[in-house]
Each structure stands twice: as structure tokens, then as C-alpha cells.
Amino acid sequence: MLKYNVRGENIEVTEALRDYVEKRLTKLEKYFELNQDVIAHVNLKVYRDHSAKVEVTIPLPYLVLRAEETTDDMYRSIDFVSEKLERQIRKYKTRVNRKSREKGLDEFFVPEEAPEAKEEKAPMFKIVRNKRVNLKPMDPEEAILQMDMLEHDFFVFQDAETNGTSVVYRRNDGSYGLIETNE
């Protein structure tokens, strides 16, 4: 069952707005297990130029779904974000099903990111964001999938074959790179 944590920045979250968010995101419930409690963290934000941004994060044990969209209309931003999330889920399920058929595996683990930590300041460099990640075994292709879903340029993971820590990253030419550690 999908639960909602809806908050607004520079906007009052009216009952109508909350109902619309829930109506659009309820369509995602069909992809989750029935006994699984899932929380959708929704942040609605309005800027001075009156643009409307919607950010949705849905942490799952095996995956973190995240999408954001900015348009000139809050309801349109909500529509676009829900569509993005549904595409992410379908893309992930298709790849996982294909990989499990190829390898004969039943379960894949994708690391989830811990909530954002407080900002820290270093003497020479200013660190503006600090995250902790739980490394779970996966192959580089699965790490690239997770990186793309999170819309990041790199992703740290535990290589399922070597048990070492590895990093995949997006190169300037659009291809991907892999950094492996000597542990």
C-alpha cells in the first residue's frame, strides 16, 4: 500500500492538490507487493518566476525511485513526474526479468541511499552534501541502471563477482566507465 508524505515550499498544500498527487501516484501501486508498505515523499515547490517543481522519492528495499519535473503548472508537473516514475519502474522490471532469465537468478539487490546528512564544511573545500550508501552486491550493468534511474553521473556499488567496491560513471561522450578497487 502506497502512503504519502506531501509537503510544500512556498505553496500551501491544499486538499485538492494532495488528492491529485495521491490520484496520480496511486497508479504505481500495481507494481508493488501487496504486503509492502511504501512511502512516497513528495515535495511541491513554487519559485519566484511562478514555475512549479515536483520532486518524488520512493525508497524501496531493492531500489530508490526518484523523479522531478519543473513546468509552469503544478498539476502538469505532477503528471510528468508520475509518468517518469512509471517508466522507471517498467524499465527496471524489464531489465531485471531479462537478466534473471539469462542468469537464472531470482533476486537482485540495488543499493538504496541513506537520507541526506547535515552539511559539513572543510577548511579548503566546501562539502555541500554528504550521503551514506549501503553497498549491496550487483553487476556493473545493474549499477548503471540504478545510476540512470537516479539521474546521477556516477554510482558506487559492491561488485557481486569480486565483492570489491566499484564505481560506474557517465563519460562526456555518453558512454560509461568502470572503476574497480584493489581490495
- In the chain (183 residues long), the average pLDDT of successive 10-residue segments reads 89 93 89 74 93 91 85 94 89 72 46 42 62 84 87 88 90 89 76
pLDDT at residue number 97: 66
**Domain stops at, among 103, 136, 151:** 103
- Full strand arrangement of the beta sheet holding 137-138: 137-138, 154-159, 165-170, 176-180
Looking at the structure, tell me whether residues 168 and 151 fall in a common domain. Answer: yes
CATH number at residue 44: 3.30.160.100
pLDDT at 105: 42
- What cell was used for 40? 512516497
Alpha carbons 75 and 20: distance in angstroms, whole number? 8
Number of domains in the chain: 2
H/E stretch holding 33? none
Lookup: cell for 27: 497508479
Which residue range forms the structural domain that includes residue 35? 2-103
> Are the CB atoms for 108 and 138 separated by under 8 Å?
yes
User: 180 and 97, same structural domain?
Assistant: no
Same domain, 19 and 87: yes
